[in-house]
Amino acid sequence: METLQKMSSAAILAGQVFMHLLRGRIHWRNTIDQLAVVGTESVLISVITAITIGMVFTIQVSREFISFGASSTIGGVLALALTRELAPVLTAVIIAGRVGSAFAAEVGTMRVTEQIDALEMLRTDPIDYLVTPRFIACVVMLPILTIIGDITGLAGGLFITTSVYKLSTTIYLESAQRFLGSWDLISAMIKAAIFGGLIALIGSNWGLTTTGGARGVGRSTTQAVVAALLTIFIVNFLLSAVMFQGAGQSLQKGF
């Protein structure tokens, strides 16, 4: 019941954020700080995760495709998997765990220590000062981190195909180019931006509604991460169902 109430308040918070954005009420200094927190400080872990996933996926796919004489499609299949699902979802999971939890902890600490009440007394809107910068940072940086994840994941797959299975670099890259379409990249960016907005809203909302002192901050942080992850998985299913309807043609282009 508490979770449903907080999800409802997160939806209301989303409406408030959009209204503030339409009015141009943006705290630019905080926004720049949050861009660094979400983007720059998350690049390394995103790169390591993407490379590892690309290598593991390639190992599993290559051994099967080679046995069927379809080695020329390995790069394309990995590119599709990374772009459509693995890169945006895994990047969002990483950011939810690393940044979403930090949002809930920081804002929650400010709530229980009455710093947010002090902001309101100084006529500073907490949404403008705390929530909107985090929302903008996540919406902007998640697609960028997803692109980086796509590139590094493909690089990890290329390393495995060339060093372990002795396949041609040219065949791998040409396969990826044939399989990928512009809509695959666009859909990945849309997914990443939506996931970023959800992470920021859920983390901030759980922080703003924190009660119960230090123990409440810990509880809100844990609940925010769990709620963000579940929301990402559910929304990812809905987006995929909408974006990729009907029969696909990527494999037909690849052969």
Q: What pLDDT tens digit does each residue of the chain (255 aa) get?
A: 677 788 888 899 999 999 989 888 788 889 999 999 999 889 999 999 999 999 999 998 888 888 888 888 889 999 999 999 999 999 999 999 999 999 999 999 999 998 988 988 888 888 989 999 999 999 999 999 999 999 999 999 999 999 988 888 998 999 999 899 889 999 999 999 999 999 999 999 999 998 888 888 999 999 999 999 999 999 999 999 998 876 555 555 555
Contact 128, 25 (CB under 8 A): yes
Work out how many domains the chain is built from and give that number. Answer: 1
- In Å, the largest CA–CA distance within the chain is 70
- Token pair 């992470």 in the structure block, residue: 199
Q: What is the dihedral of CA 215, 219, 222, 228, to 10 degrees?
A: -140
In a domain, residue 249? The reply is: no
Amino acid sitting at position 179: F
Entry pTM: 0.91
pLDDT score, position 92: 96
Q: Is residue 255 part of a domain?
A: no
At 1 the pLDDT is: 66
pLDDT value of residue 88 = 95
pLDDT score recorded for residue 252: 53
Rounded CA separation 200/177 (Å)? 34
47 contacts 152 by C-beta, under 8 angstroms? yes
Asked whether residue 96 is domain-assigned, the answer is yes
Phi and psi (nearest 5°) for 242? -80, -40
Domain contains 85: yes
Predicted pLDDT of residue 191: 96
Query: Which residue in the block uniquely carries the two structure tokens 């119960």?
Result: 212
What pLDDT is stored for residue 78 in this prediction? 92
What is the pLDDT, as a whole number, of residue 181? Answer: 87
Does residue 245 lie within any of the structural domains? no
- Domain presence at residue 246: no
How far CA 182 is from CA of 26, 27, 36, 185, in Å, comes to: 32, 34, 29, 5
Length of the chain: 255
Its domain, for residue 49, covers 2-239
CB-based contact 241:166 (threshold 8 Å): no
Looking at the domain assignment, is residue 182 inside a domain?
yes
**Residue 247 domain-assigned?**
no
